[in-house]
Structures are given as C-alpha cells and as structure tokens.
Amino acid sequence: MPFFGDNALADRLELLTYNALPGTTTPDYWAHQYDQQSNQVLVSGTKRDWSTNGDYSNIYGLMPNFACCLANMHQGWPKFVESMWMATNDNGIAVVAYGPSVLKARVGKGKEITIAEETNYPFNGHISFTISTEQPIKFPLELRIPGWADSVKVTYKGKTVVYRELSWIKLTEKWKNGDQIIMEIPMDLRFERKYNNSVSLLRGPLYFSLRMEKEFKSVKINYDNFGYKGSVDWEISPKSPWNYGLLIDMRNPMRGIKLEEKEVGSLPFADKGDMIWSPDSAKYISSLGDAPIIIRARGIRIPSWTMKNNSADVPPLSPVVPEGDPEIIELVPYGCSRLRITEFPVMDVTLMEDVIR
C-alpha cells in the first residue's frame, strides 16, 4: 500500500484482518488453527483431504501442525495497527485502514499532534477523529473511501459534505485542539459469487457466516507443554444443522433479511457458546454474549449436501430447487465463528415467490 497507493490493497488488508485473522483464533487468543475453512463444519483431528498438512491442522490449539504460528500469531494485530496510518509527502497524514486507534505524529513544519480514532468499525461505519495539538496547525488529512462504499459523509469545521465516486478525501485545514472529523460510511449488504454459483454475504469489510450451535471438546496432542497456563487444544462439533441454502432475491438483497446490532464487548470477535479462559476462576467458561451483528435471513436445508471426508462437500450448483420449508437462520461475522458456512448455495427464488414476500 505505501508503494502502490492502490485502495484495493487497503480493502484487502481490512478483509484479511477482520475476517481471516480472528476466524482462525479463539476470541481470547489462547488457541489458533493452522488450516481454516470458509465452510468449516467440523474442527477435529480426523482424516482430511489436506494435501501437505497433518490431521490436526484444523483444530484450535496451542501449536497444531507447526509450532511456528505460536510465535507468529500475535504479530497480526500490532502490525495491522502500525499500517493503519501513513505519512504523506506533503507533511500530512493518511488514514489507510479504520479501527480504534491513537496516532502521535509530526505534521506540517514538524509539530507533534495526536489523533484519537473512536469507532466500532468494522461492525458499523461511524468513525470519529479528535485532534489534540498544543497550537493550531495546518496540515492535510487524507481519508480512504473503501472500494465497497458508494459514498461517504464527512462532518468537520461546522460543515457536512457527502463525497461520491472518490477513492480519497483530502481535508487541508488549520486544525486546532479538540477539532473533530466525523465519518459515516454506509454499510449496505452485498453478495459475492463463489464456486458453483454459491454466494457469500458481506457488509462493509465483513463476511457473514451461518451461526451454528457447537460443542467444544478438549483433546491432547503430542507435545510436551500441553495445558501451559490454561491453554487447551479444542475439537469442535456441530450441534445444529449446517447444510442450508440461502433464500434470497438478488434483485432486492434486503428482501426477507433483518439486521440487528449488539453491543461490542471486550472480546469483539466472540459469540455465544465460545469457550473463553476466565483468569478469575482459572478455567474455561462458555460465552453468553452475542456477536456484535446478527443477520437473520431465510434458508432451506439441502439434504443432499453432506460431508465428504470429514469436511463439508462443495456447495451444490445454484440455483438449487427447494425440497423443504424455509427457516429463519442467523448469520454472524466470519471472525466470530469457529464453525461456519460462508459460501452458501442459492435457492431458486422463482419457485418460492409467495414465501419471501
């Protein structure tokens, strides 16, 4: 990104950081996977079709498959935060990626400032920047417009401007202590085509996955420091059906879909039923809190879509002729899911028009 200045790279950075990174770890960061799956319906040491890695590559643990990730896994978030802000060649600041953060930097003619970014991004698009400076100083502040956003509303210096069809917004002002810049990035639902015409549902930088009931089982694999300070290797089994197709109208994506925002907790990528280490009781407890966003949609089970070699088989070719009745299913952010379906077959909506009205 600093070399190419391509917004698509920043979009990619957020997609990886806010989906794949938390999705491959437990919410308390005590365990990680070596291999994760977008359609992950079983986490276990059973035989899989891995081409190079071992059977335990898929479990959440201290150091499954290779021990190197135990040392490397914690570098993702700090390095992401380091890359959120960048200097510009005209002595200003560019915000490349969004999330809660605080920046201290020298701008203009070498004056030090602090910018505090307060937000629940990526779970919603409201972002507030507050500038702290000992004296007023003029410098450009550049704000990235994500590639998935059609427009962005920015309020600053007593005015509100809606920007459209831009990649960057450049605000060159004489900023004083306490000045605020408020961004509102609309987060409309959108769909992305996958294998066999299946689809994935996105909102902002987040993918959404089927919320499944799950059972955690502690297992012991072959290394010496099992149980180090509470660390556990987990197998996870589904306790609810996973083989759903989405009943959606691609012409009107919000038809039959409802979205609910919840409070963002201290472990933002946790969901109900996750096992969380409790330092107070020195044991694991089951999380009772909800994921920050829950999307309720309509799905229909596909009996012919089953497991193959202990993984979900490839999604059947869409559109799928429905065989059963619609059900309300819940989707949560990918990073909040340990078991998941993310690439959904699509039901043939033309056969179900009366149902989804």
**What are the pLDDT digits (tens) for 242-275?**
999 999 887 787 788 999 999 999 999 999 999 9
Residue 110, SS3? coil
User: pLDDT by residue (tens digit) across 158-212?
Assistant: 999 999 989 999 999 999 999 999 999 999 999 999 999 999 999 999 999 999 9
* pLDDT average, residue stretch 51-61: 90
The pTM for the full model equals 0.94
Q: In DSSP terms, which residues pair with 293 in a beta bridge? A: 261
User: pLDDT by residue (tens digit) across 219-236?
Assistant: 877 665 556 667 889 999
Terminal CA-to-CA distance of the chain, rounded, Å?
A: 44
User: pLDDT by residue (tens digit) across 275-284?
Assistant: 999 988 888 9
Binning the chain into helix, strand and coil, the percentages to the nearest 5 are 15, 40, 50
Domain limits, the chain? 14-74+188-356, 83-184
Write the DSSP symbol of residue 34: S
CATH code 3.30.450 for 83-184: no
- CB 203, CB 293: distance < 8 Å: yes
* pLDDT average, residue stretch 64-93: 91
**What is residue 354's predicted lDDT score, i.e. its pLDDT?**
54
Please give the mean pLDDT across all residues of the chain: 92
pLDDT at 353 over 70: no
**What is residue 228's predicted lDDT score, i.e. its pLDDT?**
66
pLDDT at 1 over 80: no
